[in-house]
Chains A and B, each alone.
Chain A
Amino acid sequence: GAGVSQSPRYKVAKRGQDVALRCDPISGHVSLFWYQQALGQGPEFLTYFQNEAQLDKSGLPSDRFFAERPEGSVSTLKIQRTQQEDSAVYLCASSLVGGGGSYNEQFFGPGTRLTVL
């Protein structure tokens, strides 16, 4: 594929439901990021993977949020027992390399807009 893809593009959930959001990064990209963007705000970091290893999950807002990337490619962000404050756009990004380089461009997917009723 040409870019990062995410599915579904839109998700409506009733409060208390579990949801799973999928991210397909650019093929060969080592690093994968999840961000949460509330309406009218900038994206906020949730978690970061280098291959299959989750190296930083400091941005996950609660233990209801869980992310995985078991084979170092596709990633899933799962939100359990959704609450209204979880309503946001969830963005996935990938970059070619990992490590401590000062600049590895992140390519963003179109996002999944989650609405919790």
Chain B
Amino acid sequence: SQQGEEDPQALSIQEGENATMNCSYKTSINNLQWYRQNSGRGLVHLILIRSNEREKHSGRLRVTLDTSKKSSSLLITASRAADTASYFCATKPGAQKLVFGQGTRLTINP
């Protein structure tokens, strides 16, 4: 069973706009990670935020974490066609395995 729930399930925006995806989870976590998956490059790790962090930036990516609400958001600024992919949040409730959400399918229209 999957722990995370992402919303929206699908998002379509124009190139240059910002895209925001949300993730909710159920159990206590040490960290939360975001992954991108497309047919060309498979599943790729984007960014990790630890449970004692509230916000983290990496290039055009901004991740927030609210442990009181058990939720996280991923913001992609100035979107590009190459950002078209599925995005997954993942948590690690124990020491090893990742538990993924169902993902958000993002489409960037030129």
In this assembly, does A41 line the interface, its C-beta being within 8 Å of a C-beta of chain B?
A: yes
Assess whether B30 is in contact with A42, with CB atoms less than 8 Å apart. Answer: no
Report the count of interface residues on B (CB-CB < 8 A). Answer: 23
A102 to B102, CA, bound (A): 23
User: Which residue on chain A has the smallest CB distance to residue B95?
Assistant: A100
Is B42 touching A106 in the complex (CB atoms < 8 A)? Answer: no
Determine if A16 is an interface residue (Cβ-Cβ < 8 Å): no
Complex interface: stretch among B12-20, B43-51, B61-69, B75-83: B43-51
Task: Indicate whether A56 sits within 8 Å of B97 (C-beta atoms), given known contacts A41-B102, A103-B30.
Answer: yes
- Whether B95 pairs with A42 at a CB distance below 8 angstroms is no
Residues of B within 8 A of A102 (CB): 30-31, 50, 92, 95
Q: Give 1 or 0 for each of A83-115: 1 = CB within 8 Å of chain B CB.
A: 000000001010000111111111111110000
> Is B25 on the interface with A (CB-CB < 8 A)?
no
- Does A48 lie within 8 Å of B96, measured CB to CB? yes
Give the CA-CA distance A45 to B42 in the complex, in Å: 16
8 Å CB contact of B45 from A33, A43, A100, A105? A105
Given contacts A41-B2, A42-B102, A42-B103, contact A59 B48 (CB under 8 A): no
Which of A44, A45, A101, A107 touches B95 (beta carbons < 8 Å)? A101
* Distance (whole angstroms) from the CB of B103 to the closest CB of chain A: 5
Point out residues on B near A: beta carbons under 8 Å.
Answer: 1-2, 4, 30-31, 42-45, 48, 50, 88, 90, 92, 95-103
Chain A positions within 8 Å of B, measured between CB atoms, are 31, 33, 35, 40-45, 48, 55-56, 59, 91, 93, 98-111
Provide 6 A-B residue pairs closer than 8 Å at the C-beta atoms, listed in order of the A residue.
A41-B102, A41-B103, A59-B97, A99-B95, A108-B44, A111-B43
